[in-house]
Amino acid sequence: MSIGSEPAPSAAMEGSWGQDSASVRTQEACHPIGQAPDPIRPASLLDYVPHYVEIGDLGRGNFGLVLRALDTRPTSQSPEVAIKMLPRGEFIRNYKTYVKREIVHQSSLRHPSIIRLREVFMTPTHIGVVMDCANGGDLHAYITRRPAMRLCEEEARWFFQQLVVGLDYCHSRGVANRDLKLENLLLDSADSPRPILKMCDFGYSKHELNSLPKTSVGTTCYMAPEVYLGYTTYDAKVADIWSLGIILFAMLFGAFPFKGRDKRYIQAVLLGRYAIPPDVQVSSGVMHLLSLMLVPEPSCRCELSAIIHHPWFLQDLPAGAFEMNARLLAEKLQLEDVPYRVNRLVDMAQRLGDAREPVTFVRL
C-alpha cells in the first residue's frame, strides 16, 4: 500500500470514531487529514475577536477547521497563527474529552518539535484554539511531492531524529501521543533543505497520571496491534514506538509495511510480516532499527531509549539534542490553573451561547 493511497476499511474497521469514546477512528484511514463532522464555518473571526484577522484556510485537524490568521496586537512577537475552530453545542458534547486533552496536554509541552499553543477563546458559536503556524505543510504532502514518493535515508534520518527527540520530551512529561502519523507532523518550511518538524494534534493523547488507556484510537495503518485488537489496557508509550516504526518505513520506502485487507491485513500485522520493496536500497543499520520497533508483541518491542542509543539514530545527530530536552524538562511551567479553566470553558461550550455573550480567553 503506497502512502498516496487509501485502503478500504475492513469489517473490523466499520463505524465512525465519533459514535462513542471507545470506537476506533476508522473512517480516517491513512491519508485524509481528519474525519470529524463538518464544522460550521464561522463567517469571520472579526465577528467576535477583532485582533485576529483571517487570511486563509489551512485545512482540517482531527477536531475542526483550521484557519490562518494574523494576530494584530502590538505585543505579538510572531503575528501569523493557526486557529482551530470547534463549533459549540453538539460537537463539543460529543468530543469534549478529546478537546480537553488536546488543549491541556499540548499546552504543557514546550519544545521546538511541538506546535506551541498560545491561547484558547470562546465566542457564542465556537471555541478557538490559537497556535503557532507551520507554513511548510505536513510530512505526508512533503513526501508525496517527491518523484519517487519517498525520502533518501539521510533525509529520513533528519526527520526521524527530530521526531524521536520531541517524543522523548513528551514521554518524559508523561504524555503519550497515540496518533503519530505523517499528516500530524508539520514542517516550518517546504523549501528549506533542512525543514524543522513539529508535532501537532494531541486530541488522542494520554497522560500517565490518568488511567491506563483502554480505547482504540488512532489511524489504522499507524495503529499498534494491541490498540487495533482492542486490548483491555495497553501502554500508550509502547504503542507510540510502533507508530514510529511505521513512519520511518513510510519515509524510506514510500509505502506502508503491512499489506492486504481485512483478515489478511490483521494476519500480516500480528506476524510482523512486512516486505521490503526490492527497488529501494537502505542500510542494514536502519533495517535493524525497524526490526526492533515493528514487533507485534508489546512486551518484546524496543523502548524509546533503545532507539535513542541505536547507532543508525546517533549518526549525524545534532549536538546537544537531549541536553536541550533536559533543560526544557527542568523548566517550571506556570500552568497550574490551566486544566481547571480549560475544563470549565469546554463544559460551557456544550451549549450554544447568546450573541451578547462576551468572548472568554484562556492564555496558555
Q: Catalogue the active-site residues.
A: 179
> What does the block give as the cell for 163?
521526531
Is 181 flagged in the annotation as binding?
Answer: no
CB 184 within 8 A of CB 139: no
CB 274 within 8 A of CB 268: yes
CB 123 within 8 A of CB 358: no
> What does the block give as the cell for 4?
498516496
Instruction: Find the DSSP H helices in the chain.
Output: 90-107, 139-144, 153-172, 225-228, 236-253, 262-271, 284-293, 304-308, 311-314, 321-330, 338-348
| Secondary structure of residue 2 in the 3-state scheme | strand
Pairing type for strands 126-132 and 117-122 reads: antiparallel
CB 131 within 8 A of CB 86: no
Q: Which residues are annotated as a binding site?
A: 84
Give binding residues for ATP as ranges: 84
